[in-house]
Amino acid sequence: MSRLVMKFGGTSVATPDRIKRAAKRVAREVANGHDVIVIVSAMAGKTNELVGWVDQISPMYDAREYDAVVSSGENVTAGLMALTLQEMDIPARSWQGWQVPLKTNGAHGAARIEDIPTKNLDEKFGEGMKVAVIAGFQGISPEGRITTLGRGGSDTTAVAFAAAFEAVRCDIYTDVDGVYTTDPRITAKARKLDRIAFEEMLELASLGAKVLQTRSVELAMRYGVKLRVLSSFEEYDETAGTLVCAEDEIMESNVVNGVAYSRDEAKMTLLGVEDRPGIAAAIFGPLSEAGVNVDMIVQNISEGGKTDMTFSCPVSEVARAKQAIEAAHEAGNFEYGELVVDDNVSKVSVVGIGMRSHAGVAAKMFKALQNEGINIRVITTSEIKISVLIDRKYMELAVQALHDAFELEKAR
């Protein structure tokens, strides 16, 4: 019997009525001949309520107790979903993380999945159960305590089950209807992609297209799990949503498949840094320790033993970054002339696996920005992505211009 994993996020199970709508989608897949594993999040708002209580009681909480508390929202939804399916005469039961068991390490609050034995569920499927409803986001530690997987952990739960049970696909039901070429709020020409490669999805996700948790996409890529993102709130058809899959399952890809952006970036430049081995470590070590999420790093050529070092980070972390650099400087770790901060920039990127075999993408990108009179402050490139920092006021214009230039409104 073919297995299918279906995951429903918090807004898709926010009320008993919505749980019923989700259950109807499950029933359709059972009728299609699948044994289904359903992963559910907590009802929208419930996890925040629980986290709020914990914060109110204990700002420096014991992560083991935090996990015991916040995991309870998913348990409620799992039971309610199983009851809803039973009402529709579908043999179903719920499983909490420890019952499966979904085994994790002991890193409470951000645990990693170590094993999902298939024995217990297989046995029940063998006895005629058609749907196993799993409380997402949670597992059990080697010490027998409840763990949670961290933000977006239910996506990761879903992919891990799809891998363990060799599911034909993992459908992630959410409140958007798929992955778009760019943010539809910025250009109405944004087009839903039918398919996207894992690598592209990873670049788009980490760049701000927050549809799937990065970790779940990495896991899907490693185990070859076909992921489909689709909406709980729209009519279903076979081509609904976006399939995230291996590159070789995508024919005739466009060279560029998406334009991503990150609005609130800051550019920090250390002028006149001494150019010696170990200087990068001396600068970025303290930044990392201070919890600054450094993104782009650019080092210019050296002149007279001095160089300029530029990096970007979120605007919200600028104060912390300055403090860390000045402290390291005062401690005598390194010398520099001046620290120049521009907290008025945005990042815009074009992403596509086709870039690997096509030259001229960078040139086309720079030309498009030039045509709009947009000055580029910093450039970085990877195998399937080119990113630039530009003044924030041009961000929307840049996204629109690049979407037009690469003709992303046209299906490949």
Binding positions for substrate are 47, 74
Does position 72 bind a second copy by CB under 8 A? yes
Alpha carbon distance 309, 405 (integer Å): 31
Does position 102 bind a second copy by CB under 8 A? no
Pull the structure tokens for residue 102: 């979904």
- Order of strands across the sheet with 113-115? 113-115, 103-104, 138-140, 146-148
What's at 255, amino acid-wise? Answer: V
**How buried is 304 (Cβ within 10 angstroms: 0-12 exposed, 13-18 middle, 19+ buried)?**
exposed
Half-sphere exposure (CA, 13 Å, Cβ side) for 133?
A: 28
Does position 86 bind a second copy by CB under 8 A? yes
Site for a second copy, residues 261 to 300, rule: CB under 8 A: none
Query: 42 or 244, CB closer to a second copy?
Result: 42
Tell me if 398 sits within 8 A of 345, measured CB to CB: no
Does position 56 bind a second copy by CB under 8 A? yes
Alpha helices in 165-241, H assignment, sequence order: 198-206, 214-223
Which position among 11, 21, 44, 76 is part of the footprint of a second copy (CB under 8 A)?
Answer: 76
What's at 61, amino acid-wise? Answer: Y
Query: 96 or 157, CB closer to a second copy?
Result: 96
Does position 83 bind a second copy by CB under 8 A? yes
Letters for 135-164 (x = contact with a second copy by CB under 8 A, - = none) are ---------xxx------------------
Does position 66 bind a second copy by CB under 8 A? yes
Tell me if 118 sits within 8 A of 164, measured CB to CB: yes
Does position 96 bind a second copy by CB under 8 A? yes
Alpha carbon distance 37, 158 (integer Å): 9
Which position among 24, 45, 53, 184 is part of the footprint of a second copy (CB under 8 A)?
Answer: 53
Alpha carbon distance 172, 241 (integer Å): 9
Part in contact with a second copy (CB under 8 A); list of ranges 63-71, 105-113, 175-183, 207-215: 63-71
Does position 36 bind a second copy by CB under 8 A? no
- Site for a second copy, rule CB under 8 A: 16, 19-20, 50, 53-54, 56-58, 61-62, 64-66, 68-69, 72-73, 75-76, 78-80, 82-84, 86-87, 93-94, 96, 98-99, 144-146
